[in-house]
Structure 1
Amino acid sequence: MTLYVIIFFVAVCLGMSVSVYCFGTGSKRAKIFKEIYFSIEDIEGMGVLYTKTGELSAVLSMRNPVQKHCADTAEYNAYANVLTSLMATLGEGYAIHKQDVFTRKRYRGEDNGKREYLSDSYFRYFKGREYTDCTTFLTITQENRKERLFSYDGRKWKDFLVKVGKVRDQLRDRGISSRFLSADEVRHYADQYLAQHFTDGHVSMSNFQVTDDHIGLGGRKFKMYSLVDVDNIVLPTLIRPYTNIEVNNITMPVDLMTMVDSIPGVLSVVYNQVVFLPSQKQEMSRLAKKKNRHASLPNPSNQIAVEDIKKVEELIARENKQLVYCHFNLVVTVAADADLQRCTNHLENAFGRIGVQISQRAYNQLELFVGSFPGNCYSLNKDYDRFLTLSDAASCLMYKERLPKSEDTPLKVYYTDRQGVPVAIDISGKEGARKLTDNSNFFCLGPSGSGKSFHMNSVIRQLWEQGTDVVMVDTGNSYEGLCEYAGGKYISYTEEHPITMNPFRIQREELNVEKMDFLKNLVMLIWKGYSAVPSKIEELLIEQVIKEYYEVYFNGFKGYSKSQRDALHKKLLIETATEGKPTDTNEDVENRINKRIAEMEDRRRALVVSELSFNSFFEYSTARLPYICNENRITGIDISSYNYSLSEFYRGGTYERTLNENIDSSLFDETFIVFEIDTIKDNKTLFPLVTLIIMDVFIQKMRIKKNRKVLVIEEAWKAVASPMMAEYIQYLYKTARKFWAMVGVVTQELQDIIGSPIVKEAIINNSDVTILLDQGKFKERFDDIKAILGLTDVECRKIFTINRLENTEGRSFFREVFIRRGLVSEVYGVEEPRECYMTYTTERAEKEALKLYKSELGCSHQQAIEAYCRDWALSGISKSLEFAQKVNKAGRVLHLQKKT
């Protein structure tokens, strides 16, 4: 028993010794945190901090405006200028303390209620993935002169309110979102900073310990790194807001301090950036005295110092620059058992690459930590914690980047950001809170193997899940799996079951200019072929015969109206005058004209249309066209070629069913339709014709249905990219936006862009959304694409970083894609779970393996995917093709079980 008492007593003594060592005996170290703030109060919704030394502070929560990997040096310079102008606005007696807090978090997904199976698989796949989040706070502090007795000064208080208001307004005017924290929010943030724990709503602390080289608390410890040692300041001679890195042989600008957000093995990092704004007159006087002191001792080093000070004085006089005192430090938090030396080595190497040597001193850990509390920056030691520089240089050392966040939009299409975290964007560019485009049509270019179809599957799947009617024209079975999963209609062209439609069968109210143009283009396409350009007379003839055809069907021909008869009379009077005999009387001329009009009326009355179809149109037009030519004395029209060309689609012709059988009426109600026309892609007659008709089907759906619609035309768009079709394509693109619809074309050939004026004029110029996948294969010839798509140098830099960043660690296979919506562009990742992959795959072996599961299990497509992916996971095989080959070799469902 005595032994236990002795052990207990020794343990208590040791504990007391440690406590005295770390916190003192109730003296300054024990009370240091309690002596920071006097109070925190709400003043008109703004939390104001009062320190016990008399400083006033307000804290703004904000987002840095420069998107990480934006590739635009102008954005870095612009934000640096904003920070410099804030310093000028505040002026003498103020300090800016910017804190960028980087926290390692785990992705939790988004709770949007009940989801479709694939969306649920998507968010389940990403749940728990680690990523770095960034929050930014800007504290404005008014200094209290310590030599005077602290008392309320109404003039200083009013100046403080005016200055912090100006800072908020300046940020807003520059498009930077910010808001003042309330008193409760400031208290919570101060508690988080004290605990160096920024992830949970509740903050707790235990076992706070201070050593010479770090501070420990609970299961964590952190170390303060001062970026500049004032006794040995090592900074580059030339400093700017960004630095360049090489990516794929392209120079890519990143933040000068970009390394602070990617320190390995950390739990959180706080980058403290403090700028003190002194009296410019006093500092200039001090510089002058220092220059004179150096000049009085004529040696090389002093002469260099004199020259440097002269340069600074000249720069300030010429460009009205501002002298400031600065302090920069990092608070790096790691697990209690982690090796801080690894972080130190990483930081020394990273900062060394930009010419900055971080301070090696660590004995003032607690002092630096306390001085970095929001509002307490004036407690930092003037002699060894601050250094003098120009405001421009100080702003360069501030962190300027932000990480992508999901957009505020009802239409959410998920990609990953470049660190692998899902972010939602408005792919249309016009439905979000921030409108980026006037229309949502898109153009997608990606060479073979770049993941083009995989990307489009992902986009279309998400659009469909959000109530969008999808119509697709495909030439390679790229969307068969997704269509089957969605329970859509998959229509493929075969000789036994051709895609048949009756484009001539319309309602009276559908008889408008657009429909007439479509039918005219359809007839001209059959008659003149794909690439021919019809003459003006030929177009007018077809327009007239189509108009008369519908007039006969809907109204019947009962004779010319008075206005029509008068017009004919004038025309025939002129013709009769040129061909009549000299002995003809006026009565003879009138009789001849009336007789011709009567004959014309009789001929038209004889033509009857009993039903609307291509057959009846062929019969009507072949009978009517010769008379129209004859009555109008039109020559040079090859009526025989017209009759012969159109007869292929008439009764007994090769394609007699194509234009004479009504399309499946249920298609109108289908929400997912794929027209697979790969079997006729080389048929110069059918390929453009069927594509054109499918496009017209979409127009009818687009006009009548009230929800969002999308038409995606893969390589089939080339079938209608001819001069004859340009007008119709242009109409389709311009009209879609009026009916909450979007039209997109997808291609993989460079020549399709640079070799077709139709693509440029009718498609690209009417697409506000441009999508590009890896353009590495086109790099040597990219100038043509750049010119036609109107890409800027900044956008080109982004494009050539696609799939080239070192951002693959901890992620499965993914592809990146460049998306430009209006003037806003960014590179995103397309990373999907196995369930989605098996839905999208075009690999034959994988499709056959999935079909085997579906057939043998006798289940739905979704259930087959579930069973297949479950066995895939249990197999331990990572590569999809390898597992598919195993399934195909077995020729049956594997039914794998978990190993016990």
Structure 2
Amino acid sequence: MIAMITIGIILLASLMLQLKQPRSKEKQLAALLPISKIEGDCIISKAGDITFCFELTLPEIFSLATEEYEALHHVWGRAIRVLPTGTVIHKQDWYLQDEYKADFEGNDEKTFLGRSAERFFHGRPILTHKSYLFITRKATGRKPSNSAISNLLRPAMFPAEVVKGQALFEFQDRVGQFERLLSEGGFIQPRRMNAAELSGDSQKAGLLERYCFLLSETDAPVMEDITFKPEWKIGDKYCQMYTLADVEDLPGMCGPRITYDKYSTDRTKFAIGFAAPCGLLLPCNHIYNQVLVLEDPQKTMKKLETKRRRLQSLSAYSRENAISRDATNDFLNEAISQSRLPVRAHYNLIAWTADRHQLKELRNQASSSLAQLDANPREEIKGAPQLYWSSLPGNSADIPDNELFDTFLEQASCFFTQETCYRDSPSPVGIRLVDRQTGAPVHFDLSDWGVKTGLLSNRNKFIVGASGSGKSLLCNALIKSYLEQGSHAVIIDVGNSYQGLCQLMGGYYFSYTEENPIKFNPFFISDGDVLDTERRESIKTLLIALWKRENESYKQSEYVALSNALVGYFEKLAAEPSLFPCFNTFYEYLQGEFMDTLRRQNVKEKEFDVDNFLYVMQPYYKGGEFDFLLNAEENLDLLKTPLIIFELDNIKEHPVLLSVTTLIVMQLFISKMRKLKGVRKIIVIEEAWKAIATSGMANFIKYLYKTVRKYFGEAWCVSQEIGDLINSPIIRDAIINNADCKILLDMKKFVNKFDAIQAAMGMSDKGKMMVLSLNRANDSKRKYREFYVDFSGQYMKVFGYEPSPYEYYCFTTEEREKLLVQQYTAAHNGDMRLGIKALVADLEAQKN
């Protein structure tokens, strides 16, 4: 025997409220409650039924393709078939309207933009979802219920023997098999509920109490009247019920999925679950009950055969009888020929509102949602009390027999809701995004979670989107999020997309203008850094690149001579702390002390022509054309600076400046990659194709994408040029193949070229369906853009990025808006935070 501990149901002891039928009769709910007790985390009814209770974690909405819905449908069918005759399967889905509650605790620790986002989303209406599953074994000898005799009117009408002994063991074993089969495939995760979750306590309402009074999980336990006449009210909530309980109510056809027209195109059909209109697509408070009764197939077939013969004898008197006979005959033939499992089914939807004036709108919403299934919803009036009562967890065996219709398991399970809301990533790092439906904030980790789950083998990213698709806003938000979590980022940009972010986060911004040309100092060694072999090699590579043409080779003796020169120069710096390290002092060292060293060593001109070297390098010495380039005296501590941006727009065609800058970038990021232990390093190449088209940079990119993962690093490439994506061998071979995370933004402009894009990225048809659905049904009242995320073709999802006004004006790339930000910043003594605050306040005042 199983050791079972009886747990008293607080609901029975504490809720001495009035359940009102006619005004002249009032009954106590505690006396009517059909639940006897909870033992071993099972609900035991007064009629002797035993119920195992589960909470289900379902797939997220808009994340499955047609094939996956069919696979999920098959999982349900295979799992239900292991349950014995007499079992009642009751799936109950709760959809409750709520508001997003911002986290204002520890506000001082949040960043300026983080606080603004919390305020922006606080109070946003959202729809929450919980899915429960109740597996009930009817008591031995239990008589079927009907609308004439309900335990709402007479509790415990049919005393029966509770399932126990060997029968209980067998049923428990079958439920265990059901649970394992349901979890196979990775779509659904069932979790057994415990007694505390079912019964609750004085501080928190349990599921039974929540159902009786339509409470949310956060509501405190309350006692409220339940009235069915003249209108159905539970406390201050006005309720309505709609049922699918007759064959005439049902659609002509059903399946595991339907096409969601809002996200579909003429090239793709976007799939959602068949019953999704009864779930998350219905934007009101409601509970959707789905009940299946597994009766003895042989008895069912015998009953239907008897019905067919009766209809046959009456078919001559009525065409309706003849049609019913043929339908019954077809049902029997299909059951036998295709080994179908006959079941009895019932579906009802309970919707409610606290505002009586919204009842008409509620009726329209519920009716139209059911009508999307091509069903004929019936508003239940007289039968609502009993159906509400029989849908109580643990009481589904009491559903009236006349409210059930005959069907097959395959068809009945099509009416199960299969999706839930977006879920947060179980990871401390990530970015705040929004879901597609309500704009509810979602925390999502684009890097570590995928690696931990095995979906990603590296953290590299490839981001592509047309101009105006929100690409720069998203990238700014991603980098800001990573910087706040302690990462370092090096960005190669063309177009000043990150100027605002750099100013706000206090990074280094390298750009070229005639008044303030771009400056570096590869000779400067910051505190805590050392001149290791890697640093010397990077300086030598830079010097040789400036000395020799790209197609001109160097001799080994020249390489050795430069090595010796660097060693001698840094020894001189160590001996003379007052000497400032830069190219000017290095050049002077070569002219003086190193020249003497070469003469003493009798180094011939053919081995190292120092005069030629000095002549070629003279433009970089003071007074030369590029004397600014390698002699910077500010922005020197690059290794320890979290954010460094190289803006190449004004030098992308300049052979010298571009070459030096790309070499500095390579040296800098490799230095960060190898020396910053335990720190995430990110390099972002944004539209800088001219830079990476050089042979040296191309080889660096190939090396980087294959190696950076070993050093807790990420390499990102961002593009809006589809031709680059399709035609560039660097992107195709080095970047796409080694970037496990791919992010695509709006592709409407390239819909006719998308087959080539799909082939280049190795994208599945499911991915194509999702990408082409981007921004097709956006809420015009909100300012956001959607994007598609692909983790190695195994995980595909669409999110939205919706910046707060503060974030928007920090990240915007629109010139007019950037000028506004600069004007307001200048008016507030260069404080960008105060400038953006004032700008947003003025814009809101104008709007109001």
TM-score, structure 2 normalization? 0.83
1:818 to 788, 800, 818: 788
* 1:84 corresponding residue in structure 2: 77
Alignment correspondent of 1:369:
388
Q: Which residue of 1 aligns with 2:50?
A: 56
The separation in 2 between residues aligned to 1:642 and 1:356, in whole angstroms, is: 85
Out of 267, 272, 279, the position equivalent to 2:289 is 272
SS at match of 1:668: coil
| Greater Rg over alpha carbons, structure | 1
1:511 aligns with 2:533: yes
Instruction: After TM superposition, list the pairs within 5 Å mapping 1:705-784 onto structure 2.
Output: 705-706=676-677, 707-784=679-756
- What is the rounded CA distance, in whole Å, between the counterparts of 2:401 and 2:306 in structure 1? 19
CA distance, structure 2, for counterparts of residue 106 and residue 423 of structure 1: 14
Change (3 A) 1:612 1:753: farther
CA distance in 2: counterparts of 1:721 and 1:329, whole angstroms: 62
1:289 aligns with 2:306: yes
Aligned residues: 777
Amino acid at match of 1:160: F
Q: Compared with structure 1, are the counterparts of its residues 783 and 414 closer, same or farther at alpha carbon in structure 2 (3 Å cutoff)?
A: same
Compared CA separation, residues 645 and 91, structure 1 to 2 (3 A): farther
Q: Which segment is superposed worse, 364-373 or 773-782?
A: 773-782
- Per-residue deviation, 1:686: 2.6
1:104-119 matches, cutoff 5 A: 104-110=97-103, 113=106, 114-119=109-114
Letter in 2 for 1:98: K
Q: Which runs of 5+ in 1 are unaligned?
A: 1-17, 557-608, 631-639, 878-900
* 8 Å CA contact 1:195, 1:203 repeated in 2: no
- Cα 1:61–1:650 shift into 2, 3 Å: same
Residue identity over aligned pairs, in percent, reads 28
- Distance in 2, matches of 1:614 and 1:279, equals 99
Q: Partner letter of residue 81 of structure 2? A: A
Q: Does 1:499 pair with 2:521? A: no
Q: Which residue of 2 aligns with 1:571?
A: none
Cα offset, 1:727, TM superposition: 2.3
Match for residue 375 of structure 2 among 356, 359, 375? 356
- Tell me the distance in 2 between the aligned counterparts of 1:429 and 1:336: 45
The aligned runs of 1:155-304 (5 Å cut-off) are 155-175=166-186, 176-187=188-199, 188-211=206-229, 214-230=231-247, 232-247=248-263, 249=265, 250-261=268-279, 266=284, 268-297=285-314, 302=321, 304=323
Q: 2:344 aligns with which of 321, 325, 343?
A: 325
Structure 1 partner of 2:763: 791
Q: Secondary structure at the match of 2:118?
A: helix
> Does the CA-based 8 Å contact 2:250-2:376 persist in structure 1?
yes
1:239 positional shift: 3.4
CA RMSD of aligned residues (A): 3.6
1:865-876 alignment to 2 at 5 Å? 865-876=836-847
**Deviation at 1:135?**
0.5
Change (3 A) 1:450 1:237: closer
Separation of aligned partners in 1, 2:77 and 2:57:
17
Q: Secondary structure of the residue that 2:490 maps to in structure 1?
A: strand
User: In the aligned structure 2, how far is the partner of 1:835 from the partner of 1:217?
Assistant: 43
Asked if structure 1 preserves the Cα contact closer than 8 Å seen for 2:262 and 2:776, the reply is no
Structure 2 distance, partners of 1:773, 1:525, is 40
- Report the Cα offset of residue 429 of structure 1: 4.4
Q: Which residue of 2 aligns with 1:120?
A: 115
- Partner residue, 2:399: 380
Conservation of the 8 A alpha-carbon contact between 1:502 and 1:614? no
1:472 is matched with 491
3-state SS of 1:666 partner: coil
One-letter amino acid of the structure 1 residue matched with residue 54 of structure 2: L
Q: Which amino acid is 1:156 matched to?
A: A
Structure-1 separation of matches of 2:24 and 2:281: 33
1:420 aligns to what? 439
CA contact (8 A) 1:62 1:177 kept: yes
CA offset digits 1:144-203 (Å, max 9, x no partner): 131584256301211232122223322333323232111121121110100012153313
| TM-aligned CA distance change 1:650 to 1:58, over 3 Å | same
Distance 1:274 1:758, change over 3 A: same
Of the structure 1 ranges 289-298 and 409-418, higher mean CA displacement relative to structure 2 is found in 289-298
Q: Which one of the candidate residues 559, 564, 586 is aligned to 1:546?
A: 559
Matched, 1:401 2:394: no
Q: Report the secondary structure of 1:443's partner residue.
A: strand
Contact 2:434 2:441 in 1 (8 A): yes
Which of 347, 364, 368 is equivalent to 2:366?
Answer: 347
Can you give the 5+ residue segments of structure 2 that lack an aligned partner in the other structure?
1-17, 144-158, 200-205, 570-582
Secondary structure of 1:396's aligned partner? helix
Q: CA deviation at 1:689?
A: 3.7
Please tell me the residue identity of whatever aligns with 1:546: Y
Cα-to-partner distance string for 1:384-426 (whole Å, 9 max, x where unaligned): x101111111111110011101111121211111120111111
- Shift in Å at residue 112 of structure 1? 6.7
Question: Residues 569-648 of structure 1 correspond to what in structure 2 (within 5 A)?
Answer: none
Q: What secondary structure sits across from 1:163 in the alignment?
A: helix
Shift of 1:431: 6.7
| In 1, Cα distance between equivalents of 2:839 and 2:472 | 22
CA displacement, residues 313-358 of structure 1 (integer Å, 9 cap, x when unaligned): 4443444321111110001011242343333333333333332111
1:58 counterpart letter in structure 2: F
Query: Is the CA contact (8 Å cut-off) linking 1:245 and 1:254 kept in structure 2?
Result: no
Structure 2 vs 1, CA of residues 848 and 35 (structure 1 numbering), >3 Å: closer, same or farther?
closer
- Matches for 1:782-861 after TM superposition, within 5 Å: 782-808=754-780, 811-822=781-792, 823-858=794-829, 860-861=831-832
Is 1:25 matched up with 2:37? Answer: no
Cα distance between partner residues in 1 of 2:375 and 2:743: 40
User: Which of residues 6, 26, 33 is equivalent to 1:35?
Assistant: 33
The residue aligned with 2:354 is 335
Distance 1:201 1:744 in 2: 45
- What letter corresponds to residue 425 of structure 2 in structure 1? E
Greater shift, 189-198 or 482-491, is seen at 482-491
Q: What code does the residue aligned with 1:183 have?
A: A
**SS of match in other structure, 1:179:** strand
Is this contact kept in 2: 1:516–1:546, CA < 8 A?
A: no
Native 8 Å contact 1:444 1:744 kept in 2: yes
CA-to-partner distance for each residue in 1:51-110, whole Å, 9 max, x for gaps?
011100021011112x21125112211221121122101131211110110000000024
Normalised to the residue count of structure 1, the TM-score between the two structures is 0.79
Match of residue 890 from structure 1: none
Distance 1:161 1:459 in 2: 49
Question: Secondary structure at 2:779's aligned position in 1?
Answer: coil
Is the contact made by 1:91 and 1:277 (CA closer than 8 Å) also made in structure 2?
yes
How far did residue 469 of structure 1 move?
1.6
- The residue number in structure 2 matching 1:679 is 650
Q: Which amino acid aligns with 2:73?
A: A
Q: How much does 1:516 deviate?
A: 5.3
Find 2:500's aligned residue among 481, 494, 497. Answer: 481
Aligned mate of 1:389, from 396, 407, 414: 407
1:412/1:33 Cα in 2 relative to 1: closer, same or farther (>3 Å)? farther
Closer, same or farther in 2 for the Cα pair 1:130/1:139, shift >3 Å? same
Displacement of 1:771: 1.4
Q: Give the structure with the higher percent helix.
A: 1
